[in-house]
Structure 1
Amino acid sequence: MQDRSDPPNPIVIPFPSAPTPPGGGSGRGWKDLRARVLSALVIVPLAALCVWAGGVAYAVMIVLAMVGMASEWGRMFALSARSWRGVLYLIWPLACAAAALGGQWGGAFMVMGAAFVFGPALWAGQVAIGCAGVSLLWLRFMTHPGAGVVLFVVACVALSDTGAYLTGRAIGGPKLAPRISPAKTWSGSCGGLLAAVAGGAVIASVLPDALAGAGVRGAMMGAVMAVAAQAGDLGESALKRARGVKDSGAIIPGHGGLLDRFDGLLVAAPLAALISLGAAAGAAFWYVGLR
């Protein structure tokens, strides 16, 4: 593999869409549903335990996810993990997370900015992954209830993804962005949006210290998280198509790589953290405007 961030002649694979089978789903149908369910049965409890525990367990989970996603991003741009640049590229997220965990939130963004030494393409990956990781650390340690806030964001993103997957394959219909991701449909997008709205309303209502109107506010922010998650999903699909790869990795059966699974969080988590700055000190971000 070439050790540079932007090969001169990247190979682009067209990935033509398969004919839509009766009933409207994608060409893959439901064949990957079993692998997705089995993966979820392992990932969800483990991640939920780390989120609930907070502290070192949560920090380690976020750092490992950042390093793993950085590895996949670098691989898409032909950066060898065995080269000195590849090793340094994987150390960068550690420095970013260390600054955030040390309370130097501004310093974390300075570390992201300094990653421009790798070139624009690889720098973009450090910024996207760094912003998501730092945002998830901020939401857990700097808002209340921290575990509940992270749960809200992750659950809304997961519900959007699951709702879109099930609705799209059950109903089918017009494609959402056929040139970017032929499998995605408008029906799936709407199904994912409705699932996140319902989930957001429920989660915001049952969390400790819920204020009046929490359900309505949760539903609204659930919709915002769903739109952000779907934007992240489409963005990663466009990146993979441009780089000529089908999946960012193969670490998660039924999903592909970490970027394939958590692409929605790359947009949703930073947006949630940004909105939280407009809420009362330490309040959950869906209480934006209340001070």
Structure 2
Amino acid sequence: MPDQSENISRPSAPVPSGNWKDLRARVLSAAVLVPLAALCVWVGGLVYGAMIVLAMVGMAAEWARMFGFGLDARRGQLCLVWAACTGVAAVAGHWGGALLVMAAALVLGPALWAGQVAIGCAGLSLLWLRYMSEPGAGVVLFLVACVALSDTGAYMAGRLFGGPKLAPRISPAKTWSGSVGGLCCAVVAGMLIAALLPGAQPGAVWRGAVFGGLVAIAAQMGDLAESALKRKRGVKDSGTLLPGHGGLLDRFDGLLVAAPMAALLSLGAAGGAAFWYVGLH
């Protein structure tokens, strides 16, 4: 007779530490990706715009593929074109037109439209922060650095300390220790970047810490949301473009939430100042 106790749900076991098998691939891909992206952010203009548009197109392709629409399907092709048109309109300065194009993607169906909105909002936010805030490159650097270091800190702390799982039903590998480690790394990064950027205003250090923490929380929310989507769709990674990370959505899922949050905050910062100065007049 089967042991009925096997059917009783038990508390999830703590995650063991020490799984470093993908560290080498992550380091090598970051060694290529980080300098290239930093150069594009620094140069700005059409170079930066092209990078964002290409990233939007790549993420749209991965989103469509998770829902069964590859490049051989008409809807899969339309997803790429739609994302490109949204980004190009914004690069050309037609922000209202970009939002209309993004909204019109509803004709693709609710699932694909949700992807166009999530990816479009993140892409438009990154373009807005670079082109319309001050200092543009520094603002994007703050945002991307806090998101990246939150991810790296979570990876390192989770594997060093292990411990209870953060959201076992969504992403069994994520731990509370990793979440706290990522938050601490983003806070420190925010403090340093906000204080060292040219034209830093009074209170830059503590404001950098607060908003670095907010960026980390938003990034972790985006990470969990993408993990939930992948679990629902039955896929491990959104793609294979980035060794050690998976696809573009796997690597930049945190920006899907953090970038729009930063852009909304920037609207409340006086005189186009960096978004962590929101509320100062």
Which band: TM-score by shorter chain?
over 0.9
Structure 1 alignment gaps of length 5 or more: 1-17
Aligned-residue offset at 1:164: 0.4
Aligned-residue offset at 1:155: 0.2
- Could you tell me how far apart the structure 2 residues matched to 1:161 and 1:186 are? 13
Find 2:212's aligned residue among 222, 235, 238. 222
Q: Deviations over 1:78-126 (max 9, x none)?
A: 0121233222211001111122122221221111110000111000000
Q: Deviations over 1:47-89 (max 9, x none)?
A: 0000000011101110110000000000000012123322221
Which amino acid in the other structure matches residue 133 of structure 1?
A: G
1:234 aligns to 2:224 (yes or no): yes
Task: Identify, as 1 or 2, the structure richer in helix.
Answer: 2
Structure 2 alignment gaps of length 5 or more: 1-11
- Could you tell me how far apart the structure 2 residues matched to 1:122 and 1:31 are? 34
Matching residue of 2:243: 253
CA contact (8 A) 2:13 2:164 kept: no
1:201 aligns to 2:202 (yes or no): no
- Could you tell me how far apart the structure 1 residues matched to 2:203 and 2:106 are? 44
Which amino acid in the other structure matches residue 183 of structure 2?
A: L
1:83 aligns to 2:83 (yes or no): no
Matching residue of 1:184: 174
Indicate the SS of the match to 2:270. Answer: coil
Find 1:279's aligned residue among 263, 269, 273. 269
Indicate the SS of the match to 1:281. Answer: helix
Aligned-residue offset at 1:281: 2.2
Find 2:56's aligned residue among 56, 66, 69. 66
CA contact (8 A) 2:65 2:76 kept: no
After the TM superposition, which residues 66-145 of structure 1 pair with which residues of structure 2 at under 5 Å, given as runs?
66-145=56-135
TM-score by length of 2: 0.94
- Could you tell me how far apart the structure 2 residues matched to 1:84 and 1:240 are? 22
Matching residue of 1:168: 158
Find 1:262's aligned residue among 252, 266, 269. 252
Q: Deviations over 1:223-246 (max 9, x none)?
A: 000000000000000000000000
Superposition RMSD in Å: 1.3
Which amino acid in the other structure matches residue 166 of structure 2?
A: L
Which amino acid in the other structure matches residue 204 of structure 1?
A: A
Which amino acid in the other structure matches residue 189 of structure 2?
A: G
Which amino acid in the other structure matches residue 141 of structure 2?
A: L
- Could you tell me how far apart the structure 1 residues matched to 2:195 and 2:233 are? 42
Aligned-residue offset at 1:20: 6.3
- Could you tell me how far apart the structure 1 residues matched to 2:53 and 2:25 are? 25
- Could you tell me how far apart the structure 2 residues matched to 1:109 and 1:219 are? 32
Which amino acid in the other structure matches residue 80 of structure 2?
A: L
Indicate the SS of the match to 1:183. Answer: strand
Q: How many residues align?
A: 270
CA contact (8 A) 2:46 2:91 kept: no
Q: Identity, % of aligned pairs? A: 70
- Could you tell me how far apart the structure 2 residues matched to 1:37 and 1:110 are? 39
Find 2:17's aligned residue among 1, 25, 32. 25
Which amino acid in the other structure matches residue 95 of structure 2?
A: W
Aligned-residue offset at 1:204: 0.3
